[in-house]
């Protein structure tokens, strides 16, 4: 008998092009997981409405995320790749879960407080119940593992609480989902200006997007923050220099990295040379992904097929869960 694989679900909001941080923090995990788990990867278009109500560019953004996923190696035959708004059932589960979510805990959520500060004129109820919709995304597929970054861990904990409350009140339907990552400390890719991590929407010049062309990559890397160089052998390394080494470790040969580390330690390092090398290695890494992505984006028929295929598979699975939910809640009055 075939043993059932554990279910994995994750989502990315289509609020901008994906970057190196998304690649190493999320997509690479997805590509590895698709072989070992029953994977659902979703473009979270509905979540993006909480902060980006203008939908004029949404279709394009969604297509760009799907194309990036495909270019990076997600196989729509192995994993179910779909768009959140194609599952109407998620909206229904969200409604039920809202009755199990308390105003106090929602108001205390770190991301809610941050977003409310960032957009004081649009503190909408969708923003407040963002974690409930996310829990619905996860629970509609009865997911066991949710690969996410550190900033999303609180949401997973909330999803677990909603699952427990549901099970306790209506009977055991949902597994308790857990955050998951292959690397122990959830990987953060530093931004090039030495402040924080790469981000879809903050300081584009300090973020390397998978869609950046060779020249753009070169320019961004050459502008990365450095200084006059170490004045004494074996000096401690400032953050922004460590960051450049960190990026190099991701895309360059080990021998290249150790050669520059050595020259840092004996003070002969020239940051200009180091950045030139990093830029070329980064281009070698990114340009094949970008080219594939461009080819996929030019193929509207393929994109439509992938989305339809994903929506059909995801809906079939979600419909089963929702039937169980309604039954557990005794909402099945016709039978």
Which residues form the catalytic set? 115, 197, 200
Dihedral of alpha carbons 320, 326, 330, 334, sign: negative
Selected from 7, 8, 11, 43, the binder of ligand TRP by CB under 6 A is 11
Q: Which long-range contacts (CB under 8 A, 24 or more apart) does 25-31 make?
A: 25/149, 25/186, 25/187, 25/188, 25/189, 26/147, 26/148, 26/149, 27/68, 27/69, 27/72, 27/74, 28/72, 29/147, 29/180, 29/181, 29/182, 30/69, 30/74, 30/79, 30/147, 31/72, 31/73, 31/74
CB of 38 or CB of 137, closer to ligand TRP = 137
Q: At its nearest, how many Å lie between ligand TRP and the CB of residue 317?
A: 15
Count the residues of the shown chain that bind ligand TRP, applying the rule CB under 6 A: 12
User: Using CA atoms, how far apart are residues 234 and 231, in angstroms rounded to an integer?
Assistant: 9
Query: Of all residues in this chain, which one has the CB nearest to ligand TRP in the complex?
Result: 11
Confirm or reject binding of residue 13 to ligand TRP (CB under 6 A).
yes
CB-CB contact of 39 with 76 (8 Å): no
Instruction: Report phi then psi at 142, rounded to 5.
Output: 50, 50
Confirm or reject binding of residue 115 to ligand TRP (CB under 6 A).
no
Q: Which residue has the tokens 């953050």?
A: 239
In terms of Cα–Cα distance, which of 44, 71, 72 is closest to 140? 44
Q: At its nearest, how many Å lie between ligand TRP and the CB of residue 42?
A: 7
CB of 62 or CB of 134, closer to ligand TRP = 134
Confirm or reject binding of residue 148 to ligand TRP (CB under 6 A).
yes
Selected from 138, 163, 303, 325, the binder of ligand TRP by CB under 6 A is 138
∠ at Cα 288 (280, 255), nearest 5°? 40
Structure tokens at 154: 């609180």
Selected from 7, 8, 9, 72, the binder of ligand TRP by CB under 6 A is 9
Confirm or reject binding of residue 86 to ligand TRP (CB under 6 A).
no
Stretch that binds ligand TRP, among 29-37, 133-141, 245-253, 294-302 (CB under 6 A): 133-141
Selected from 47, 197, 218, 275, the binder of ligand TRP by CB under 6 A is 47
Helical pair 130-139 and 88-98, crossing angle rounded to 10 deg: 120
Confirm or reject binding of residue 128 to ligand TRP (CB under 6 A).
no
Stretch that binds ligand TRP, among 5-13, 190-198, 253-261, 325-333 (CB under 6 A): 5-13
Confirm or reject binding of residue 141 to ligand TRP (CB under 6 A).
no
In the complex, the residues that contact ligand TRP under the rule CB under 6 A are 9-11, 13, 44, 47, 134, 137-138, 146, 148, 152
């Amino acid at each position: 008998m075939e043993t059932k694989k554990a279910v994995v679900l994750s989502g990315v909001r289509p609020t901008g092009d994906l970057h190196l941080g998304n690649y190493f923090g999320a997509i690479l995990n997805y590509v590895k997981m698709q072989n070992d788990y029953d994977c659902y990867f979703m473009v979270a278009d509905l979540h993006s409405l909480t902060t980006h109500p203008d939908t004029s560019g949404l279709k394009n953004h969604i297509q760009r995320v799907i194309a990036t996923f495909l270019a990076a190696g997600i196989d729509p035959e192995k994993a179910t790749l779909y768009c959140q708004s194609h599952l109407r059932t998620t909206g229904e589960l969200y409604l039920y879960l809202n009755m199990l979510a308390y105003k106090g805990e929602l108001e205390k959520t770190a991301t809610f407080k941050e977003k409310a500060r960032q957009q004081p004129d649009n503190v909408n109820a969708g923003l407040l119940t963002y974690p409930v919709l996310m829990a619905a995304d996860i629970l509609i597929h009865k997911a066991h593992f949710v690969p996410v970054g550190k900033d999303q861990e609180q949401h997973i904990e909330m999803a677990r609480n909603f699952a427990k409350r549901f099970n306790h009140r209506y009977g055991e339907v949902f597994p308790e989902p857990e955050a998951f990552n292959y690397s122990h400390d959830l990987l953060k890719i530093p931004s090039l200006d030495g402040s924080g991590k790469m981000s879809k929407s903050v300081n584009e010049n300090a973020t390397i997007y998978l869609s950046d062309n060779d020249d753009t990559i070169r320019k961004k890397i050459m502008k990365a923050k450095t200084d006059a160089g170490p004045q004494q052998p074996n000096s401690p390394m400032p953050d922004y220099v460590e960051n450049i080494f960190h990026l190099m470790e991701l895309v360059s040969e080990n021998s290249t990295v150790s050669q520059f580390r050595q020259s840092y330690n004996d003070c002969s390092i020239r940051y200009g040379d180091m950045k030139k090398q990093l830029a070329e290695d980064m281009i070698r890494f990114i340009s094949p992904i970008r080219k594939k992505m461009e080819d996929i984006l030019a193929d509207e028929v393929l994109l439509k097929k992938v989305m339809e295929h994903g929506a059909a598979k995801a809906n079939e699975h979600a419909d089963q869960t929702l039937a169980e939910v309604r039954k557990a809640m005794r909402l099945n009055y016709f039978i």
